[in-house]
């Protein structure tokens, strides 16, 4: 009985050494696999990638980025945005700053501007997958944007 208790203790201690990188089974950098960036990791239950879920074309994103500020637009406010449902296509922002769907614009803290469809919402502001990608934002970021509208 005493021998099996000592044996279990030694096994546990040797396992602790391995966890701390001191045992014989230490992983070398070549053996460690790094996960890919968020933009290529699986999103949703079906394992679709961000690129596969976003059907907005490069031309549509470029046009939204190049769109000038609309005449008479005004600053509606600043909001922190989270990634909206990737299955909802288009370039949009869902926010409590509007009460009906209108065209508007968002600007990042870095000064990058994008024409978006402003959709009414409540709670946290959500920005579409296409808008996140057009603005070069990380999909797990919670950036603050300034919202402009009519």
- The pLDDT of residue 42 is 40
| CB 117, CB 143: distance < 8 Å | no
- pLDDT band at residue 18 using 50, 70 and 90 as cut-offs: very low
- Partnered with residue 75 across adjacent β-strands are 148
Q: Is it the case that residue 71 has pLDDT exceeding 50?
A: yes
Beta pairing partners, 105: 115, 148
Three-class SS of residue 104? strand
Q: With 0.85 as the threshold, say if the pTM is over it.
A: no
Q: Give the separation between CA 115 and CA 98, rounded to whole angstroms.
A: 15
What are the Cα distances from residue 109, in Å, to 31, 66, 67? Answer: 39, 17, 18
Q: Which residue has the tokens 């990380």?
A: 138
Whether residue 37 is predicted with pLDDT greater than 80 in this model: the reply is: no
Q: Is 36 helix (H, G, I), strand (E, B) or coil?
A: coil
Question: What mean pLDDT comes out for the span 61-68?
Answer: 72
pLDDT given at position 143: 94
Cα–Cα dist 16/87, whole Å:
45
Structure tokens at 87: 């299955």
Which tens digit of pLDDT belongs to each residue from 111-126? Answer: 999 999 999 998 889 9
Mean pLDDT score across all residues of the chain = 74
Per-residue pLDDT at 2 exceeds 50 = no
Percent of the residues in the chain that have a pLDDT greater than 70, as a whole number: 63
pLDDT at 48: 56
């Amino acid at each position: 009985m005493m021998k099996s208790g000592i044996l279990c203790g030694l096994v546990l201690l040797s396992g602790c050494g391995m966890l701390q990188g001191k045992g014989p089974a230490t992983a070398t950098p070549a053996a460690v696999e790094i996960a890919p960036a968020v933009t290529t990791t699986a999103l949703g239950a079906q394992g679709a990638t961000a690129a596969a879920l976003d059907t907005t074309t490069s031309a549509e994103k470029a046009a939204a980025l190049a769109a000038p500020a609309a005449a008479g637009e005004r600053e509606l406010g600043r909001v922190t945005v989270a990634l909206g449902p990737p299955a909802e296509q288009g370039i949009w922002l869902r926010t409590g700053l509007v009460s009906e769907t209108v065209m508007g614009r968002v600007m990042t803290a870095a000064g990058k501007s994008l024409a978006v469809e402003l959709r009414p919402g409540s709670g946290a502001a959500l920005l579409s997958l296409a808008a996140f990608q057009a603005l070069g934002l990380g999909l797990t970021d919670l950036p603050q944007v300034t919202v402009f509208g009519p």
